[in-house]
Structure 1
Amino acid sequence: MTPAHALPARIVILGGGAAGWMSAAGLATALPGTAVEVVESEAIGTIGVGEATFPSIRQFNQLLGIDEAEFLAATGGTYKLGIQFRDWRRPGTHYFHTFGDFGPLTGPMALWGQFQRLGAQCDGGLGEFCLPTVMAQHGRFQTPSAGDGLGARYTYAYHFDATRYGAFLCQLAQQRGARRTEGQVVAVARHADGRVRALQLADGREVAGDLFIDCSGFASVLMGQTLGQGFVDYSPWLPLDRAWAVPAARAGDALAPYTRVTALEAGWSWRIPLQERTGFGHVFSSRHISEERAREQLLAQLDAPPLDGARLLRFQAGHRERFWHHNVIAIGLAGGFLEPLESTAIFLVHNAIGRVIQLLTQSPAPQPELAAEFNAQQTRQYARIRDFILLHYCLSERRDSAFWQHMTQQALPDTLAYKLHAWRETGVLHNYDDEGFDETSWLAIHTGMGHWPQRTSPWLKEVPVAFAQAQLAQRHAAIAQLAAHMPRHEDFLNTRLAGTRRARPPRGDTP
């Protein structure tokens, strides 16, 4: 599509890593006439641990023309059907948030409504009526097929090494014309009106640009330090501010097609299975537990020997007051951070890149209007995801530590309080604009935590009990049969990877 206004001739990205090279690959692909340059320094490390994502990463990869098998081989990736939450409702319980559907969400045959009505007469929990949940429980995987009915009603994501993903996209972006400049930024030159003119490097070089993308991580060199954009603090709601991360050897058990998240004394731990190793981490509140005790709790979660020492990350939940100011756009950690409970870090990066590309190529408005629209969308989305993360905590029945007492009894944002009221009182799954998660995801958390509506539509009771029972039984049996005939996750992955060469870069053709 031909833009209705002039595109920036030179886009400079400060910082590499996954965010920087995702930005470079996306912009170089979508704006082939624009010069894209990434400035990064090998002396400055990146925050790269085993990453979990959700299904939108597939659309981003597809837009870049990335072959799935090459991507999985290059990043040590595996498939992900969702997240298993352990000990969240109370110790000893678990449930899945998976990327499938629960049938109709409204109307007389709303599956969850009929299940609540007839649950005592049904086999298993509500999760057993969702195909990817059953697949995950049994370690099965195959890609959806439109020809098998229920099998088409789910999607999937990936686990992968974020550092290797950044390197993979670095090659792709350079194949498509992006330039890499090695150097450490020591100063930022600005125009008289406040816009950034150039990055000044330690060796005296200058890298000038028309539009700058800040992917400098928590340092937020351009948006925070240079332009002075303040921070909107979410820590009153999300006090978790530290994370230990450690890689471990592959355990001897089957390769799980899901992330495992376990609630702990003052936070939670993750387990992310990759091809050659397993990533473990512990996200916690330093107000409620010491760093050393949190590290001990992480190491107790390991099911195989560690491959390296545990690394400590410090952060604060929230985002910059603006994500786009003057001619600078902050993407990734430079713009904000939310604890990775629902694997939103990579999503927030590629979603922001998509918005930037859309605004640059489709909007006739001058830059201030583009920036205002981008800032409004980004601010809403961070708040929506914040609320979804909070949902996991406020529904918990745990009161066994000071942390859980705080998280389950705190005052909630009005946006979340209204959603909870709507569901509890009427069974309505209310969504706002710029949500990160759809109604099915909210349903999975509500029902997984045992949070059912107090009142539902009388329409549900107009369906004869025998008919509703038969429909539920039919779906339950069909899902069990489909999952039973699927290959094991590791077998499917190995078949998918057959014939690929490890770390082979993707083709440079523009999709």
Structure 2
Amino acid sequence: MSQKYERIVVVGGGSAGWMTAAALVTGLKGRATVEVVESEEIGIIGVGEATFPSIRNYNQLIGIDEAEFLRATTGSYKLGIHFCDWLEVGRDYFHTFGHFGNLYGSQTLWAQHRRLGLTEPLGLQCVPTVMAMKGRFVLPSEQQEFKYAYHFDAVQYAAFLRKLALQRGARHTLGRIVDVSRHADGNVAALQLDDGRRIEGDLFVDCSGFRSLLLGGTLAEPFVDFSHWLPVDGAWACPTERAGEELTPYTRATALEGGWAWRIPLQNRTGHGHVFSSRFIDVDRARDQLLAQLDGKPVAEPRLLRFKTGHRRRFWVDNVIAIGLSSGFLEPLESTSIYLVQDAIARLMVLLTAGRPLHENDRALFNEGAVRRFSRIRDFIILHYCLTRRRDSELWRHVSSMALPETLNFRMELWRRYGVLHEYDEEGFDATSWLAVHAGMDHWPEREDPVFAEVPPELAASALRDRRAAIAASVERMPPHHRLLQQVLGR
């Protein structure tokens, strides 16, 4: 049966809800009404948010000025993630949004680096990695191309998007949902609010967070559990005053006894948190370990969040589509929460702007793609854990010996045996990102392609040396991150 949606109801605000609403009112251009229903009684999970470069595409598509966005969200720039103590205590590496030279062909940079037995980090051959290490930042240009993302306050971002969406025609209804009525065919007909109002719609977008009010609650869609691979199930979050003038252009993820701690620098404060597994560490001990990581005075008491990694079996059922935490959750190790929201919105917008009624196979293709995206990102996050050499706590012994998903096993085998960075469809991270983790975790192929030896060692060494020197000299001329940010903000 085909369907056309002229009344779209978004259930829940927050980043997911208002990102969805802003995209819908902008892209549909009045072809459907968009109404956001949210309750003031339900809190928003407001922590310092680190993002993926694709957030820039979203902002540009809906017409957000970068400087205005950064001012409204107390945001800063992000070049990647600094991983500390993941391979071993005292070892670190960067996963940045740059590249390491050509990944294919006889001049493959990483292969020559490995072949020569260089002990220096491969990241010295990557412009944004060196920028991050030096605390420098410039906006990309034709001469210096690279990707970047942001750190920002998620609550402020939601408020910023709410204002934009309302200006463009979205409706905003405050009220607590007490009942959901359905048609005889199972589709949701309307939401009943506690004050007696009834909100009808043709399509309902569930952005109700972990509660998953419609998809998980009303429709009882089963949950696909990833916790046997990703056992973290809680997080302590605590903001602190900003320490010092320097503003690092990267997120930091430090491996701890039972999980890992994040550090996200904003203009006016620093977001800190500890993602942990209650199977391997006591909740109170996890809190103490977070407090030991703080590098500034706390501005609020630590807050405990609970979650389960995985996703709903289907993301779109009947006339309900879940976006954000209501559809599933992957731990924020690689800052993919906002990316997954954006990915779902993009899939939805393609269908809604196709100019035709939607059919059941459209929903099926949406679901298949979304499931694969979650699985691909799941595998990438597991990669960070399974390559560890740490055996100093129960968590690290567990993740170093656990059975892996077959999709991850296969691509790791290809890399280990032949140096092939295999890519599937619906990838969240490209081959460069996989290489950054393999290199950072000192995980290299067992054999080299013989064609690499066609490049004389002295020529390869000279090329690597010259590239490293050129990058270092270029970065040295760049301004510190905080100064560049002040210029962009007009201060």
* TM band (smaller chain): over 0.9
The TM-score normalised by the length of structure 2 is 0.98
Matches of 1:405 and 1:80 in 2, distance apart? Answer: 32
SS at match of 2:230: coil
Task: Check whether the contact 1:134–1:479 (CA below 8 A) recurs between aligned residues.
Answer: yes
- Please show how residues 288-437 of structure 1 align to structure 2 within 5 Å: 288-362=280-354, 364=356, 366-437=358-429
1:142 is matched with which residue?
138
2:53 is matched with which residue?
55
1:504 is matched with which residue?
none
Matches of 1:136 and 1:145 in 2, distance apart? Answer: 17
SS at match of 2:22: helix
Matches of 1:388 and 1:362 in 2, distance apart? Answer: 32
- Please show how residues 271-290 of structure 1 align to structure 2 within 5 Å: 271-290=263-282
Matches of 2:357 and 2:103 in 1, distance apart? Answer: 39
2:35 is matched with which residue?
37
Matches of 1:9 and 1:428 in 2, distance apart? Answer: 48
2:210 is equivalent to residue 210 of structure 1: no
- Please show how residues 23-34 of structure 1 align to structure 2 within 5 Å: 23-32=20-29, 33-34=31-32
Residues 213-271 of structure 1 deviation map (CA, whole Å, 9 limit, x = unaligned): 00000110100110110100000111100000000000115110000000000000000
Go from structure 1 to structure 2 and tell me whether the alpha carbon gap of 1:15 and 1:300 turns closer, same or farther (over 3 Å shift): same
Matches of 2:357 and 2:176 in 1, distance apart? Answer: 35
1:128 is matched with which residue?
124
Matches of 2:438 and 2:18 in 1, distance apart? Answer: 36
Matches of 1:440 and 1:272 in 2, distance apart? Answer: 23
Task: Check whether the contact 1:384–1:434 (CA below 8 A) recurs between aligned residues.
Answer: yes
Matches of 1:257 and 1:351 in 2, distance apart? Answer: 24
SS at match of 1:48: coil
2:9 is equivalent to residue 17 of structure 1: no
Residues 145-188 of structure 1 deviation map (CA, whole Å, 9 limit, x = unaligned): 11x2xx21x11000000000000000000111101000000000
2:458 is equivalent to residue 466 of structure 1: yes
RMSD across aligned positions (CA): 1.1
SS at match of 2:438: helix
Q: 1:365: Cα distance to partner?
A: 6.6
Aligned length: 489
2:237 is matched with which residue?
245
Go from structure 1 to structure 2 and tell me whether the alpha carbon gap of 1:363 and 1:286 turns closer, same or farther (over 3 Å shift): farther
Residues 126-151 of structure 1 deviation map (CA, whole Å, 9 limit, x = unaligned): 100000010000000001111x2xx2
Matches of 2:331 and 2:90 in 1, distance apart? Answer: 24
Runs of 4+ in 1 over 3 A off after TM superposition: 363-366
Letter in 2 for 1:75: T
SS at match of 1:247: strand
Identity %: 60
Residues 71-118 of structure 1 deviation map (CA, whole Å, 9 limit, x = unaligned): 000000000000000000000010000000001111111000000011
Matches of 2:100 and 2:349 in 1, distance apart? Answer: 34
2:102 is matched with which residue?
104
2:484 is equivalent to residue 492 of structure 1: yes
Task: Check whether the contact 1:363–1:370 (CA below 8 A) recurs between aligned residues.
Answer: no
Q: 1:469: Cα distance to partner?
A: 1.5
1:81 corresponds to which of 79, 82, 100: 79
Matches of 1:401 and 1:462 in 2, distance apart? Answer: 45
Q: 1:466: Cα distance to partner?
A: 1.9
The TM-score normalised by the length of structure 1 is 0.94
Matches of 1:31 and 1:155 in 2, distance apart? Answer: 29
Matches of 1:444 and 1:45 in 2, distance apart? Answer: 37
Residues 371-409 of structure 1 deviation map (CA, whole Å, 9 limit, x = unaligned): 101100000000000000000000010010011000110
Letter in 2 for 1:64: I
Residues 19-63 of structure 1 deviation map (CA, whole Å, 9 limit, x = unaligned): 000000011111112100000011111111000001000000000
Task: Check whether the contact 2:25–2:169 (CA below 8 A) recurs between aligned residues.
Answer: yes
Matches of 2:45 and 2:448 in 1, distance apart? Answer: 46
Letter in 2 for 1:49: V
SS at match of 2:365: helix
